[in-house]
Amino acid sequence: MAKVDMARRAEIGREKRAKTRAQILDAGTMLLAERPPEALTVDGIVEAAGVAKGTFYYHFQSIEELAAAVGAKLGDSFDELLTPARLELSDPIARLSFAFTRFLEKAISDPIWARLVVQSSRAPTEFTRGIRAHLKADLTEAIDQGRLSVQDVELAADIVIGICLQVMRGILERRAASGVPGQALDAVLRALGASQPCDGSRA
């Protein structure tokens, strides 16, 4: 019986530590959605998280480490949004359309996530560069197929990302209508001079 109790006690301890770390991570996410890492303080983070300063340092050695964890969490959310398109859609314009639409739908449903994306775009990180790399791969394939009138892949990526971020800012400033993602996608495809996906599908 004692062994069972000790095992359960250890399990409870792990659950409590995980919950506390998640609290700090959530507070960091909320604060980083509003300001850059260099503007954060440990005091501000622990106040938002409702934990002691020593608890912060138990889980994170620095604000930079917390920011990296928030970035990894954001990167995971990108993968969650984009993986279905990369696995299921063979047409590059269909993949681009799917990703663009899902990003804006996520921005409408999760304003903190949208703020974090906009804030992160000001200082590109490994995962935001990864998103651009995937986008450029789709755009390159579409250009090679003769599907885009814009032939410069970097310019095409700038158009897609620029419109996406600007629409996200608009979503954050005012309540977005349900048709915004589709209308914004139409604007992107027109700006790229894109033809319809080969199967005629739209995200």
Q: Which of 187, 167, 188, 185 is nearest to 176 (CA)?
A: 167
- Of 1-15, 113-127, 148-162, the range with the highest mean pLDDT is 148-162
Residue 21's H or E segment, with its range, is helix 2-32
Question: Is residue 3 predicted with pLDDT exceeding 60?
Answer: no
Question: Is residue 195 predicted with pLDDT exceeding 90?
Answer: no
Percent of the chain with pLDDT over 70: 90
Residue 132 lies in a domain: yes
- Is the distance from CB of 99 to CB of 82 less than 8 angstroms? yes
Convert the pLDDT of each residue in 31-85 to its tens digit: 988 888 888 899 999 999 999 999 999 999 999 999 889 888 888 888 888 887 6
Domain boundary among 14, 34, 60: 60
Same domain, 46 and 114: no
Same domain, 56 and 138: no
Same domain, 106 and 29: no
Report pLDDT for 203.
43
Q: Work out whether the CA dihedral 7, 8, 10, 14 comes out positive or negative.
A: positive
Same domain, 81 and 7: no
Number of domains in the chain: 2
Label residue 200 by pLDDT band (50, 70, 90).
Answer: very low
CA distances from 180 to 35, 37, 109, 187 (A): 26, 31, 13, 11
For the chain, the average pLDDT equals 86
Q: What is the CATH number of the domain that holds 14?
A: 1.10.10.60
The pair of structure tokens assigned to 81 is 């949004």
Report pLDDT for 178.
73
pTM, 2 dp: 0.76
Residue 202 lies in a domain: no
- Is the distance from CB of 116 to CB of 33 less than 8 angstroms? yes
Q: What is the CATH number of the domain that holds 132?
A: 1.10.357.10
Report pLDDT for 197.
59
Same domain, 94 and 117: yes
Residue 200 lies in a domain: no
- From the number of C-beta atoms within 10 Å of its C-beta (0-12, 13-18, 19+), residue 63 rates as buried
- Is the distance from CB of 168 to CB of 116 less than 8 angstroms? no
Same domain, 136 and 187: yes
Containing structural domain, residue 113: 67-192
Average pLDDT over residues 150-163: 96
Q: Comparing 12 with 164, which gets the higher pLDDT? A: 164
Residue 111 lies in a domain: yes
